[in-house]
Amino acid sequence: MAVLDKMFAPDSLFSRRFFFLAKRFVAGETIDSAIAAVRQLNAAGMTATLDFLGEDVLERDAAIKTRDAYFKMTDAIAAAGVQCNVSVKLTAMGMLVDENFALENLTSILDYTQAKNPDPFVRIDMEGSPVTQTTLNIFERAYATHKNVGPVLQSYLRRTPRDVERAIELGARVRICKGAYNEPPEVAYKEMPQIRKQYLECAKALLTRGNYPGIATHDVEIIEALKAFAHNNEISPDKFEFQMLYGIRPSVQRQIVSEGYRLRIYVPFGTHWAGYFYRRVAERKENAFFALSGIFSK
């Protein structure tokens, strides 16, 4: 993966020349292309969450620009009348510059979506473990004044059952996923059976005691187990939603909708797609071959 690390580093020559590879996972570079993708998803019975790509911002100006992009996205969602909310990364809001500054940017987005978007919910994506605690601190501070916000929790982290209990206590909406960053074994489980087991335990706690959880996975074994769990515990399909990533397993996406479950698709867009694309490539060997063969056949 070291080769891919270099190739897909943000702003590398490869990143600039090979957007055509990322198109499978990214809904274009502009808000218009993202809204067009959301319209198609809505027509297929799916809702969406829009993510303006970018992370690890180290300058205040860049964070302010990203915040303003979320205002524009919200205007575009409202103007198009699509069923869609937004997801943000706190490192893109300036969390690495200053926690209070990131909180201010986040709360101004929460105010804006509350005023303009019929679905005003804002999801805080979860990033690598060095920022887990700060992300949750900022979430809790924002949640004290704004209820239209909720965090993502990652089942590979050893700490996550405690964070799930805390979110349940707060009544906050959680998206549960496995986790996409390369974490050390001290903080994260590395074996898939353990990650799956913890995923199921956390998801069941959220389904029975939580507030409208987002079950984010393409893992059919988990999806089937949780459908059965919800059915056996009389949890109706309007009490939770499945969530999947744009471009991944579209046939499973259609199947979920045809069975009467809610499904939200995470739709990333923008020019800073390298980090996101890299994570999608890194989590599956087949994608690495797909990326490399695309590069060498160009």
Residue 132 makes contact with ligand FDA by CB under 6 A: no
Residue 216 makes contact with ligand FDA by CB under 6 A: yes
Q: How many residues make contact with ligand FDA (CB under 6 A)?
A: 23
Using CB under 6 A as the binding rule, the residues of this chain from 218 to 237 that contact ligand FDA are: 218-219
CB of 114 to ligand FDA, least distance (A): 22
Residue 37 makes contact with ligand FDA by CB under 6 A: no
Residue 76 makes contact with ligand FDA by CB under 6 A: no
From residue 189, alpha-carbon distances to 156, 164, 205 in Å are: 5, 17, 19
Residue 180 makes contact with ligand FDA by CB under 6 A: yes
Residue 179 makes contact with ligand FDA by CB under 6 A: yes
Q: Which residue is nearest to ligand FDA (CB)?
A: 218
CB of 115 to ligand FDA, least distance (A): 25
CB of 234 to ligand FDA, least distance (A): 26
E strand or H helix at 106: helix 99-116
From the list 15-23, 111-119, 138-146, 245-253, the region that binds ligand FDA by CB under 6 A is 245-253
Task: Report which of 178, 177, 183, 208 is spatially closest to residue 193, judged by C-alpha positions.
Answer: 178
* Largest distance between two CA atoms of the chain: 53
From the list 36-44, 77-85, 108-116, 212-220, the region that binds ligand FDA by CB under 6 A is 212-220
CB of 17 to ligand FDA, least distance (A): 21
> Could you tell me whether strands 149-154 and 84-88 are parallel, antiparallel, or unpaired per DSSP bridges?
unpaired
* Options 173, 175, 196, 264, the catalytic residue: 175
CB of 216 to ligand FDA, least distance (A): 4
Distance in angstroms (rounded) separating the CA atoms of residues 262 and 48: 11
Helix (H, G, I), strand (E, B) or coil at 84: strand
Q: In sequence order, what are the residues at sequence separation of 6 or more whose Cβ sits closer than 8 angstroms to the Cβ of residue 184?
A: 129
- Give the burial string for 23-55 (b: 16+ CB within 10 Å, else e): eebbbbbebebbbebbbebbeeebbbbbbbbbb
Distance in angstroms (rounded) separating the CA atoms of residues 295 and 17: 9
Give the nearer residue to ligand FDA in terms of CB position, either 112 or 278. 278
Q: Is 125 a known active-site residue?
A: yes
Residue 266 makes contact with ligand FDA by CB under 6 A: yes
- Judged by CB under 6 A, the residue of 152, 157, 188, 256 near ligand FDA is 152
Q: Is 175 a known active-site residue?
A: yes
- Judged by CB under 6 A, the residue of 125, 163, 183, 241 near ligand FDA is 125
Q: In sequence order, what are the residues at sequence separation of 6 or more whose Cβ sits closer than 8 angstroms to the Cβ of residue 180?
A: 154, 279, 283
Helix (H, G, I), strand (E, B) or coil at 213: coil
Residue 249 makes contact with ligand FDA by CB under 6 A: yes
Question: Which runs of consecutive H residues, i.e. helices, occur in the chain?
Answer: 2-7, 13-17, 19-22, 31-43, 60-80, 99-116, 132-143, 160-170, 192-209, 220-232, 250-258, 274-282, 285-296
Binding footprint of ligand FDA on the chain (CB under 6 A): 125-126, 152, 154, 177-181, 216-219, 243-245, 248-249, 266, 280, 283-284, 287
